[in-house]
Amino acid sequence: MTTISESNEHAFVPHSISLRASVAELGEAIASHSSRNGGVLMVTDLPPLPLSALQALFTLLHQKPELGQRLNAAYANNLVYKDSFCAGNGGPAVDMKRVLDLSPERLAQILEQIPSLADELGEPLQTMLSFWKSCTEAAGAKLSQALAHAIGSPDVLLDAHYNFRMVDYYERCGVGGTPLRRAP
């Protein structure tokens, strides 16, 4: 059974649909909600997110900035790890977030360049990669098929790539990396 929630007048609540819905139902939900609510459609019934491992990974990257620098050096096409505000590139319009963008292709190139990084990032990275693998296995093909249904073209299935974007929102850093408190 498909459950689609509606927004109320006081708070933003994205439309949602269960991963258990049929490909056609998922495709219809994607098509009908692509421009409503800012284009947000929440898919439920995905594998549970290991938040403690995610936080441990971002804590490790924050405590050892050289790890992020080495990730970026090993994959020169794009930045893999970003923390613009604390790197001194922030401003009032810059989100207070750290971003780790991995994909199977990026990870393979990084580990080919610097094989020791997997061990240095340890269990938090391994747990997150297991999570992304379970998401890809549980939802990747079905959501790609639903997207093809929504746009009316199977071409999307010919070039399906998965990016594992992890984002950690935090308080802005002041001088010396000390977090600044937001005004109430």
Half-sphere exposure of 168 (CA within 13 A, CB side): 23
User: How many Å apart are CA 110 and CA 143, to the nearest integer?
Assistant: 27
Q: What pLDDT shows up at residue 2?
A: 44
Q: What is the pLDDT of residues 26-53, one digit of tens each?
A: 999 998 887 655 678 899 999 999 999 9
- Note the residue count of the chain: 184
Query: Which tokens belong to 9?
Result: 């007048």
* Burial of 26 (C-beta count, 10 Å sphere; 0-12/13-18/19+): buried
Domain borders along the chain are: 1-45, 51-177
Residue 56 above 50 pLDDT?
yes
Q: Is the C-alpha dihedral spanning 90, 128, 157, 15 positive or negative?
A: negative
Average confidence (pLDDT) over 102-131: 95
Q: Is the C-alpha dihedral spanning 44, 28, 3, 42 positive or negative?
A: positive
- What are the φ and ψ backbone dihedral angles of 174, each rounded to 5 degrees? -100, -155
Q: What is the pLDDT of residues 6-26, one digit of tens each?
A: 544 667 788 899 999 999 999
